[in-house]
Structure formats: structure tokens, C-alpha cells
């Protein structure tokens, strides 16, 4: 054991040098990045102002922010130092207020290397070192180095994630262009279509075509004489087509040349990106499980996302985030998601697919139907009330809206209820919930360090509760929702014996799950 530790320390020393390693500057070419970005923005601003015949006293100050930005970046570069020792990675920065941040190397959980188009032209990269520790509910502790040369960034990444291990690099998954069909299967597609319309309007306004007084009045006059039904149908199809093209473009840019590989020293590395390249490295020993997420539109098309459940990983709620280190696969067929999940966990089969989930009681369905009823009643009641006060048109809109919400709510309630389930298979606990985004999560039982049992006032009559698994550095989002109290406590106690035992009271001296309660 001691020999292995000595060997690891020796390898770390090869990369980092002595404990008192010299402080190094960031790459000075980062100043050129700011200069080029600022110059491009200033030129576009000057061109628009010239086109709009702006007075000279508005044009003259345009270069001032550019000069200030370049000066600030030069000072920041001059006052920033970093070093990698055999035990820590350290960063000193700040102009008016100096900060010195130090992260022990054994606390590093993820290393992300990102390069936007200008970074790539100048052969630079942004390195973000994550520890998994959260300084607030929305902000993680991350040390950022903007920017290093591409070679230095790769050397730093390799040094921070290097661990004892032998073997060859092995590819787990690569992008298949047949998966492109999953790109438009998102609720964001119509929003992208509306964004295209808004961007067109803003562009025309900036260029001086005045759409409010020219384009829109002509469009209103034309609609007054046209047959509205085909116009509405063609308009909706046009928006969906524009949104689909935008979604395809987003998919290509985000997932271009995607590769998921397992490195010899026990780390998972996912790289992707066309214009902005991203490379996220996650230590395999920090992996606690996987999540297979199926947003509704993607699920109807037979696809899914695959995420890592790991200390220091990014949020699974932001699929295309630049710094999302949890993504293990782009939107892909559900079979491929299960294959990759099994390969990442080094299992023969994906636990999320092989487990037999226990269904939840009918009380959970009734609760969801009640929520749908009250939502429809609230929306319809407000609109009907406004209609009685203002105009009968709103009253008609109110009862129609309530009816639509009730019908859609019942459908979603049934789907959400059918998605509920939990189970145990081998080394894993599995939980599933959600309708608009169904999430199936497999957690290693050894990675669960505690349970949280929550019961709201509207739960108590039906004896339902929510049981949440807690993992090291986790976000506390691994729920068993709307389960009977006794059944949920029995599941948690069986999954991780001994954690809940001091808090359980068994009535009648039996060990039945239905007889259990919290002390």
C-alpha cells in the first residue's frame, strides 16, 4: 500500500515539480482575445450608427469602452499567477482586492477544458477545476484559469486527473449522425422559431426599416383579406420549421465530434463542440451512478439523455451547458443510452433497464389529478371573474382554458403516475419519476450516505411521503416520490442497512414495512 502511494506521489512530482514550484502567468495572448472581441463589437456598433446617421458626439465615445476593456484585461493578466505543486493547485488574482485560492489535488473532482473560436485561432484554452464543494445552492467552487496555451492546458488537465492505473485508452461511445433526428424533439423548438421571428424584427429595426410603421400595418391589412385558417396553419408550420432548423444547428454545434473515452488512470473524458470545443474529465472513482433522462418529446421519439451521477458533476437540468460535466451522451436512442450507462458503470446490464420497479399506490395518481383540477379551476376562475368585470370574451376564454387544463392535466397525471417506481438490484438503488422529463436514476448503495424523509400536510391523510437519497457532494435530487411512509422507510432501510435503523419504530414487534414509522 505504501509503495503504491509513493509511486503516485512520484508521478505527481514529475508533472508538478517540487512543492515550492514557481508561479506562472497566464498566456498573454488572452489580451488579444479581448482586443479582437472588443474591436469586432466596436466596428459593428460604428457601422450601425453610420447607417442610422448618428451625430459625431455619439460616435466619438464608442472606442472608449474598448480601450478600458483592453487595459483592464492587461492589468488582470499582469496581476494573475498560478502554480501546480505536488499537493495543490493555486491561483492568485485580483486588482483592488487580492485573492489567493488553493485546492488540494486530492480534492479535484473534475477538470474542464473549453475553447471558443478566438481561443482556438490563438491556440488558447480555458481550464476550470471543480472540487464538488458548493459555496451556495446555485454556485459550485470552481477555480478558473483564463487562459492557458493549449499545450499547457492539456498538461495541467493530465496532471490533475492522473492516478495510479495501467491499460489502454478505450472508447465507450462516439457520435452517430443518425442521432441528428433527435435534435428537433424538444420543447425548445417552437421557442427557437419565435426567437427567429424576434431576431428578424430587431434586425430590421436596427437597419432602419421601421417595421412598426411599414411592415406590421401592411401585414395586418393583408390578414384582413386573407383566409385565416391556411395562414395560421402555414404560420405554425413555418415557425416549427425555423425552430427545427435552429435545433439541428444547435445539436451539431454542441455535440460535434462527441467522444466518450475511459482513460488508463481511471477517468471518464467527454469531448465535443464545433465552434466552441469542450472537454470534461470526471474521475471514475467519484462516480455514484447514472441517470437516464427522457424529456417528453424525446421519449415519444425513442430517445434519451445519459448523465453521470458524480461528485462535482454539472447539473442534469441543463443538457447543453458549456460546463456540464455530467453529460455522458447526446440525445440518442434509448438502447444506446442503456448500453453506455452499463459500460460506464462496468456492469453487464444497465441497472435502470434491468431492475423491476415497484409501482406506487393509487393515492399518488389521485394527488396528481387533484393538482390538475385545482390548476384548471384557478386559471378558469380568474379569467371568468375578469370576464364578468370587463368583457364576456374573457369568460369564454376562461372556461375553455379550464377545460384544456383539466384534460391535459389528467393525461399528464396518468403519465406521471405510471412513471413512478423504485427498486433495488445488486449494488444499486433505482428510482424513477417525472412526466415532462422522466428521470430514471441508478445510485450505488455504497454511495448513499443518508436519507431525507419529507411529508407535507396534504401528504399526511394518504400517508404518502418523499424519500430522498443523499450522496457526497450531491444535489439532493434523487427522490422516491409519493410512496407510502412504511414502504418508503422499508425501501431505504433495505437499500442501506443501518442508516435509518436508530430512527425507526416498529409497531407490534413486527418487521413489516407497512408497520414502520419514524421515531
pLDDT for 314 equals: 55
**What span, in angstroms and rounded, lies between the C-alpha atoms of 427 and 445?**
6
Chain segment 283-325, per-residue pLDDT in tens: 888 888 999 999 999 999 999 999 998 866 655 554 544 446 7
pLDDT digits (tens, 9 = 90+) for 95-136: 888 899 988 888 887 889 999 999 999 999 999 988 766 555
Q: Please give the model's pTM, rounded to 2 decimal places.
A: 0.81
pLDDT of residue 19: 47
Q: Compute the distance between CA of residue 103 and CA of residue 88 in angstroms, rounded to an integer.
A: 5
Q: Which residues contact 162 (CB under 8 A, 6 or more apart)?
A: 11, 12, 15, 265
What pLDDT score does 7 carry?
A: 44
Q: Given the DSSP bridges, would you call strands 287-295 and 303-310 parallel, antiparallel or unpaired?
A: antiparallel
Please state, as a whole number, how many other Cβ atoms lie within 10 Å of the Cβ of residue 80: 19
242 grid coordinates: 425555423
- Give the integer Cα–Cα distance in Å for 328 and 314: 11
Cis omega (within 30 of 0) for bond into 462: no
Contact 292/310 with Cβ under 8 angstroms? no
Average pLDDT, the chain: 83
pLDDT given at position 228: 72
Contact 21, 85 (CB under 8 A): yes
Quick one: pLDDT at residue 206?
Answer: 72
Q: How many residues does the chain have?
A: 519
How high is the pLDDT of residue 231?
79
3-class DSSP state for residue 377? helix
| Residues with pLDDT less than 70, the chain | 1-20, 132-141, 162-167, 207-208, 212, 311-324, 458-460, 473-477, 503-519
Q: Are strands 110-115 and 99-104 parallel, antiparallel or unpaired?
A: unpaired
Contact 326, 307 (CB under 8 A): yes
Share above pLDDT 70 across residues of the chain, in percent, rounded to a whole number:
84
pLDDT tens, residue by residue, 162-190: 655 556 788 999 999 999 999 999 888 88
DSSP assignments along 26-57, one per residue: PPTTHHHHHHHHHHHHHHHHHHHHHHTT--HH
Which of 8, 6, 5 has its CA nearest to residue 265?
Answer: 8
Contact 282, 254 (CB under 8 A): no
Amino acid at each position: 500500500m505504501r509503495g503504491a502511494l509513493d509511486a503516485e506521489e512520484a508521478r505527481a512530482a514529475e508533472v508538478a515539480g517540487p512543492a515550492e514550484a514557481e508561479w506562472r502567468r497566464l498566456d498573454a495572448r488572452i489580451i488579444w482575445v479581448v482586443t479582437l472581441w472588443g474591436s469586432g463589437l466596436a466596428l459593428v456598433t460604428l457601422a450601425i450608427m453610420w447607417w442610422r446617421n448618428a451625430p459625431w458626439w455619439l460616435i466619438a465615445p464608442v472606442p472608449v469602452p474598448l480601450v478600458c476593456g483592453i487595459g483592464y484585461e492587461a492589468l488582470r493578466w499582469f496581476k494573475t499567477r498560478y502554480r501546480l505543486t505536488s499537493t495543490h493547485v493555486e491561483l492568485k488574482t485580483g486588482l483592488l482586492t487580492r485573492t489567493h485560492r488553493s485546492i488540494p489535488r486530492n480534492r479535484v473532482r473534475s477538470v474542464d477544458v473549453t475553447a471558443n473560436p478566438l481561443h482556438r485561432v490563438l491556440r488558447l484554452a480555458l481550464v476550470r477545476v471543480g472540487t464538488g464543494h458548493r459555496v451556495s445552492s446555485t454556485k459550485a467552487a470552481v477555480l478558473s484559469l483564463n487562459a492557458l496555451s493549449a499545450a499547457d492546458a492539456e498538461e495541467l488537465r493530465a496532471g490533475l486527473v492522473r492516478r495510479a492505473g495501467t491499460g489502454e485508452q478505450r472508447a465507450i461511445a462516439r457520435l452517430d449522425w443518425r442521432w441528428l433526428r433527435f435534435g428537433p424533439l424538444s420543447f425548445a423548438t417552437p421557442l427557437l422559431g419565435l426567437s427567429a421571428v424576434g431576431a428578424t424584427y430587431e434586425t430590421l429595426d436596427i437597419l432602419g426599416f421601421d417595421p412598426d410603421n411599414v411592415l406590421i400595418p401592411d401585414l395586418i391589412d393583408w390578414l384582413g383579406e386573407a383566409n385565416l385558417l391556411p395562414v395560421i396553419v402555414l404560420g405554425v408550420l413555418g415557425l416549427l420549421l425555423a425552430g427545427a432548423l435552429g435545433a439541428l444547428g444547435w445539436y451539431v454545434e454542441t455535440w460535434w465530434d462527441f467522444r466518450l473515452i475511459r482513460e488508463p488512470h481511471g477517468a471518464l473524458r467527454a469531448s465535443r463542440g464545433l465552434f466552441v470545443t469542450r472537454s470534461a474529465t470526471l474521475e471514475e472513482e467519484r462516480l455514484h451512478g447514472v441517470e437516464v433522462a427522457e424529456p417528453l418529446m424525446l421519449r415519444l421519439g425513442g430517445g434519451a439523455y445519459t448523465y453521470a451521477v458524480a461528485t462535482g458533476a454539472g447539473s442534469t437540468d441543463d443538457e447543453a451547458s458549456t460546463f456540464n460535466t455530467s453529460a455522458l451522451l447526446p440525445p440518442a436512442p434509448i438502447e444506446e443510452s442503456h448500453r453506455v450507462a452499463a459500460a460506464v458503470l462496468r456492469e453487464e446490464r444497465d441497472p435502470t433497464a434491468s431492475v423491476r420497479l415497484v409501482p406506487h399506490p393509487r393515492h399518488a395518481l389521485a394527488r396528481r389529478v387533484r393538482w390538475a383540477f385545482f390548476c384548471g379551476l384557478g386559471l378558469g376562475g380568474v379569467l371568468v371573474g375578469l370576464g364578468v368585470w370587463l368583457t364576456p370574451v374573457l369568460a369564454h376564454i376562461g372556461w375553455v382554458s379550464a377545460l384544456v387544463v383539466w384534460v391535459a392535466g389528467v393525461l399528464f397525471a396518468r403519465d406521471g403516475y405510471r412513471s413512478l417506481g423504485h427498486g433495488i438490484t445488486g449494488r444499486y438503488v433505482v428510482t424513477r419519476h417525472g412526466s415532462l422529463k422522466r428521470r430514471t436514476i441508478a445510485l450505488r448503495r455504497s454511495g448513499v450516505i443518508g436519507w431525507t424523509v419529507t411529508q407535507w400536510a396534504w401528504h399526511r391523510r394518504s400517508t404518502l411521503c418523499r424519500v430522498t437519497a443523499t450522496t457526497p457532494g450531491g444535489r439532493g435530487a434523487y427522490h422516491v416520490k409519493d410512496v407510502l411512509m412504511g414502504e418508503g422507510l422499508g425501501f431505504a432501510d433495505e437499500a442501506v442497512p443501518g442508516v435509518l435503523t436508530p430512527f425507526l419504530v416498529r409497531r407490534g414487534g413486527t418487521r413489516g414495512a407497512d408497520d414502520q414509522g419514524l421515531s
